[in-house]
Amino acid sequence: MKHFLSLADWSADELRQLLESAVQLKQAWKAGGNQPVLANKLLAMVFQKPSLRTRVSFEVGMKHLGGDALMLGPDEIGLGKRESIADVARVLSGYVQGIMARVFDHDHVVQLAQWASVPVINGLSDAEHPCQALADTLTIYEKFGRMAGLRVAYIGDGNNVAVSLAQACAHFGMHFVIASPEGYELPTAAVSQFETLAARSEEGATITRLRRPEEAAAGAHVIYTDTWVSMGQEAQSAARVAVMQPYQVNAALLKHADSDAIVLHCLPAHRGQEITDEVADGPHSAIFPQAENRLPAQKAILAQLMV
Ligand code: CP
Ligand code: NVA
C-alpha cells in the first residue's frame, strides 16, 4: 500500500507523474469538470492543528473527484490520547478509503500508516509538509516551464515547509539555498537526505546553507519564506521573532534576486514579519496561484492513492 508521508519516500519519476496528473486535473476542472474516479469513496481528515488550505483543498478535491470527506478536528477523536493511534487507524480503515492527517509528532503519521489498511497522507507534521511542496513545484513549473537548474532561496526558519521544499529541489534538480539564523538552520539530517535524493535522481541538485539572506537571494529564481513561529511553537514566539528580524522578505531583499524571480509563501502569512505587504501583494508574488495549486496537487495525490 502506497502512502504519502514524505517526498523522500517517492521517486523523482513518481513525483513527476503526480505533477503531470495535477496539471491534467487542473485543466480538466477548468474545461468543465473532473471524472468521478473517487465515486463512493470517503477521506477522513484528522486535524490536530488548524488549517484553511489543507482542509478545504482536500475536501473540495474529494468532491470534485466524485467522493466526499469528513472533518475530524482536534477535540473529536483525541488521536493518541482518547484512543491509541493504532486503534484509530484500524477503526477508520473500516469506514473510509483514505486518511489525511495533520499532526504534531511526525511519528504519528508514520504509525497511522503502519496500522491503517487504507492510504495515509501527511497533511503537515512538525517535520514535513509534502502536500505543500507538491503544490510549490507545480507553481514553479507553471511559472518557469522547467525546474532543473533553477535557484530556490528559502529565507528564515529551517522548518517543516523548508524540509519538504528541499526534498522537492533534490528530486527535480533545483539549487536549494537556505539562509537561517543560528539555531534555526535546516536540520543536518535533511541535508544528508538531500544529498541522497539528489544523487538518486541525477538531476544535478545542490544544497547550500548560509547565514546572510542577501547571499541566499542573490540571483534566485524563487524566493520562499514561511512563518517564523510554526504551529506548536507559540511559547517560543518572542525569541523567534527577535532573532528572525533580519530574515524578512522585503523589497530590499528582492532586489538581489533574478529580475524574473517569483516569491512564494505557503501561507498563512504574518505580514510585517517574515514578508511585507509590498512583496506579498507585489508583481513578483505568486502566493495566491501557489495556494490555488494545493487543489490540483491534492487531487493528484488522492487519485493516485485511492482509485
Ligand atoms: N499552507 C497550509 O498548509 O495552509 P493551512 O495551514 O491553512 O492548511
Ligand atoms: N511551518 C508552518 C506551516 C503552516 C502551513 C507550521 O507548521 O505552522
Interval 76-101 mean pLDDT: 95
In this predicted structure, what is the pLDDT of residue 1? 83
Which helix (DSSP H) or strand (DSSP E) does residue 131 occupy? helix 130-144
Which residues does the annotation mark as catalytic? 102, 129, 132, 226, 266, 294
The alpha carbon of 243 is separated from its chain's Cα centroid by a whole number of angstroms, namely 24
Kindly state if the Cβ of 231 falls inside 6 Å of ligand 2: yes
Q: Which fold has domain 132-291?
A: Rossmann fold (3.40.50)
Domain residue ranges of the chain, discontinuous segments joined by +: 7-129+294-306, 132-291
In this predicted structure, what is the pLDDT of residue 226? 98
In this predicted structure, what is the pLDDT of residue 138? 98
Kindly state if the Cβ of 164 falls inside 6 Å of ligand 2: no
Reduced to 3 states (helix: H, G, I; strand: E, B; else coil), residue 255 is: coil
pLDDT averaged over every residue in the chain: 98
Cβ contacts of residue 246 below 8 Å, gap of 6+? 181, 213
Q: What is the DSSP letter of 135?
A: H
Whether 132-291 and 7-129+294-306 are alike in CATH topology: the answer is: yes
Pocket of ligand 1 (CB under 6 A): 51-54, 124, 132, 266-268
* Residue 112 banded pLDDT, cuts 50, 70, 90: very high
Over residues 205-264, the pLDDT tens digits come to 999 999 999 999 999 999 999 999 999 999 999 999 999 999 999 999 999 999 999 999
| CB-CB contact of 306 with 27 (8 Å) | no
Q: What angle do CA 278, 181, 274 make, to 5 degrees?
A: 20
Report, at the CATH architecture level, how domain 7-129+294-306 is classified. Answer: 3-Layer(aba) Sandwich (3.40)
Over residues 127-177, the pLDDT tens digits come to 999 999 999 999 999 999 999 999 999 999 999 999 999 999 999 999 999
Rounded to the nearest angstrom, the distance between the alpha carbon of 120 and the centre of ligand 2 is 19
Rounded to the nearest angstrom, the distance between the alpha carbon of 162 and the centre of ligand 1 is 14
Q: How many CA atoms lie within 13 A of 291 on its CB side?
A: 14
Kindly state if the Cβ of 160 falls inside 6 Å of ligand 2: yes
